[in-house]
């Protein structure tokens, strides 16, 4: 049986695993990333970096710290577009204003709605390869995880002083953390939206996205359904006043662990379960784990 060792082994090369690997590598740790491929849900074409969530305007926990960490991190690797417009209906604005009261989240109100000035969005296509550049990365499929060892499908053992699970939705069965799996789709539009807009559904770059399907208790791969396409296009009609032309679609599965994104497991740590806010929180939680590792 072949063997590989490293001080820190990270299982997963999505936004969680690669951001962490980059932060640890830059701090001088010896890191090995093991993954079947570069990103799974993290290949979502556009990721919003949005501190004010949903149609109720819930301010994300630790939003100020997460914004600081993401603006310090992503622009080193890719272009990050600044600003998101939330076209909040008049009758809900007072409630949203109250939620933002005494929060340090730069914003302004206009007739159109709420402008979140240091929210933003990015395209993932170049981000993942750039994060991976210069890292030690092994492309292997992991069949099981026992103690501090990973066993590959072809029988190799990979062991670590510290093992970090960052395998997202598709690898979640390996660590048995429970959680919810939410399939979803993004439609790729012919039109490019330079300014991100989000209420019900969102548009940014060449993407139209939103969350329509219910949560599931286990992971299974997803393919875009006709009902999702119709839901997204009717949402776009409300948001933009028209249905944009669609050229293709992307499908993936979100994995949610209700905010307990960093937790100790017998092998080391699990950094996962960010739901729709993985790109928002990944830099902050990578720094948190760096601190814990000392």
Residue written as token pair 């890191």 = 31
Q: Which of 183, 182, 166, 186 is nearest to 174 (CA)?
A: 166
Q: Which residues pair with 148 in a beta bridge?
A: none
CB of 88 or CB of 211, closer to ligand FAD: 211
Q: Which of 191, 123, 164, 126 is nearest to 35 (CA)?
A: 164
Which x/- pattern, by CB under 6 A, does the window 185-214 give for ligand FAD? xx----------------------x-----
Is there a contact between 114 and 86 (Cβ–Cβ < 8 Å)? Answer: yes
Using the rule CB under 6 A, is 17 a contact of ligand FAD? yes
Shortest Cβ 73–ligand FAD spacing (Å): 13
Which x/- pattern, by CB under 6 A, does the window 133-152 give for ligand FAD? --------xx----------
- Footprint of ligand FAD on 78-107 (CB under 6 A): none
Q: Which residues pair with 205 in a beta bridge?
A: 193
Among positions 47, 160, 232, 287, the unique one binding ligand FAD when judged by CB under 6 A: 47
Shortest Cβ 7–ligand FAD spacing (Å): 20
Collect all residues with Cβ–Cβ distance below 8 Å to 260 and sequence separation of at least 6.
273
Q: Which of 225, 289, 228, 232 is nearest to 262 (CA)?
A: 289
The Cα–Cα gap between 10 and 6 comes to 10
Among positions 170, 189, 206, 249, the unique one binding ligand FAD when judged by CB under 6 A: 170
Using the rule CB under 6 A, is 113 a contact of ligand FAD? no
The Cα–Cα gap between 4 and 170 comes to 23
Phi-psi region of 200 (alpha: psi -120 to 50; beta: other; left: phi over 0): left
Give the binding range for ligand FAD (CB under 6 A) out of 20-28, 90-98, 237-245, 251-259: 251-259
Structural tokens at position 54: 């949903």
Among positions 277, 284, 286, 287, the unique one binding ligand FAD when judged by CB under 6 A: 277
CB of 100 or CB of 158, closer to ligand FAD: 158
Q: Which residues bind ligand FAD (CB under 6 A)?
A: 12-17, 35-37, 39-42, 44, 47-48, 141-142, 166-171, 184-186, 209, 252-254, 272, 274, 276-280
């Amino acid at each position: 049986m072949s063997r590989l060792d490293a001080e820190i082994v990270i299982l997963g090369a999505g936004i969680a695993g690669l951001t962490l690997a980059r932060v640890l590598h830059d701090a001088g740790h010896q890191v090995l990333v093991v993954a079947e491929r570069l990103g799974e849900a993290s290949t979502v074409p556009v990721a919003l970096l949005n501190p004010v969530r949903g149609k109720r305007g819930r301010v994300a926990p630790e939003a100020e710290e997460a914004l600081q960490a993401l603006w310090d991190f992503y622009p080193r690797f890719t272009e990050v577009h600044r600003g998101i417009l939330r076209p909040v209906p008049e009758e809900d604005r007072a409630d949203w204003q109250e939620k933002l009261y005494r929060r340090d989240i730069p914003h302004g109100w206009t007739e159109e709605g709420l402008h979140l000035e240091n929210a933003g969005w990015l395209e993932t296509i170049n981000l993942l390869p750039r994060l991976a550049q210069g890292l030690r990365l092994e492309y292997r499929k992991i069949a099981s995880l026992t103690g501090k060892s990973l066993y590959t499908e072809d029988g190799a053992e990979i062991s670590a002083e510290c093992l970090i699970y960052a395998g997202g939705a598709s690898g979640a069965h390996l660590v048995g953390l429970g959680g919810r799996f939410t399939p979803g789709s993004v439609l790729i539009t012919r039109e490019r939206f330079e300014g991100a807009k989000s209420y019900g559904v969102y548009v940014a770059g060449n993407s139209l996205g939103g969350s329509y399907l219910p949560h599931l208790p286990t992971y299974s791969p997803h393919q875009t359904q006709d009902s999702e396409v119709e839901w997204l296009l009717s949402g776009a009609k409300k948001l933009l006043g028209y249905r944009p032309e669609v050229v293709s679609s992307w499908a993936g599965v979100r994995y949610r662990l209700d905010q307990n994104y960093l937790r100790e497991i017998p092998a080391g740590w699990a950094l996962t379960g960010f739901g729709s806010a993985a790109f928002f929180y990944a830099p902050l939680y990578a720094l948190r784990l760096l601190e814990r590792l000392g």
